[in-house]
């Protein structure tokens, strides 16, 4: 079950006005903020997605699309990390950056890569 902050869940028919759900009624709190539980995908919704996919045979599931998008995002993050690594090495090799600065840059990039990896899993 996905849980979103009430401020993030808006009723589109209300023109972005009040949040959907009653915060006092839900009783669920996350880090001091009210949240609304969003139900998982039902079997009916999964069947509709599989019927409307590109192949038309139901061979592509929502999990497959999620894995594809997560792989593309993580691949882009790896490419960015390699670029940061190369540029830091190049700057260090030409004397424009000392080893401490290059190490700090690589440590920050590693942190971002680990964070992206954690978010896409």
- pLDDT by residue (tens digit) across 43-88? 888 777 777 766 556 577 778 888 999 999 999 999 999 999 999 9
Q: Using alpha carbons, select from 41, 29, 24, 40 the residue that is nearest to residue 5.
A: 29
Would you say 91 and 97 are in contact if contact means Cβ atoms under 8 Å apart? yes
- pLDDT attached to residue 23: 46
pTM above 0.85, yes or no: no
Q: What is the domain range of residue 90?
A: 60-121
Would you say 81 and 30 are in contact if contact means Cβ atoms under 8 Å apart? no
- Percent of the chain whose pLDDT exceeds 70: 63
Q: Is residue 68 part of a domain?
A: yes
Judged against a pLDDT cut of 50, whether residue 37 lies above it is answered with yes
- pLDDT attached to residue 103: 93
- pLDDT attached to residue 66: 87
Q: Is residue 70 part of a domain?
A: yes
Q: Is residue 10 part of a domain?
A: no
Q: Is residue 101 part of a domain?
A: yes
Q: Is residue 72 part of a domain?
A: yes
Total domains in the fold of the chain: 1
Q: Is residue 14 part of a domain?
A: no
Pick the residue with more confidence: 20 or 44?
Answer: 44
Q: Is residue 50 part of a domain?
A: no
């Amino acid at each position: 079950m996905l849980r979103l902050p009430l401020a993030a869940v808006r009723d589109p028919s209300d023109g972005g006005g009040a949040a959907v759900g009653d915060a006092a009624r839900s009783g669920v709190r996350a880090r001091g903020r009210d949240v609304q539980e969003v139900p998982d995908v039902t079997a009916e919704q999964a069947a509709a997605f599989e019927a409307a996919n590109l192949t038309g045979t139901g061979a592509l599931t929502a999990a497959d699309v999620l894995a594809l998008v997560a792989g593309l995002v993580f691949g882009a993050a790896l490419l960015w990390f390699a670029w940061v690594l190369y540029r830091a090495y190049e700057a260090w090799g030409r004397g424009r950056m000392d080893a401490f600065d290059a190490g700090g840059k690589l440590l920050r990039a590693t942190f971002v890569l680990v964070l992206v990896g954690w978010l896409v899993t």
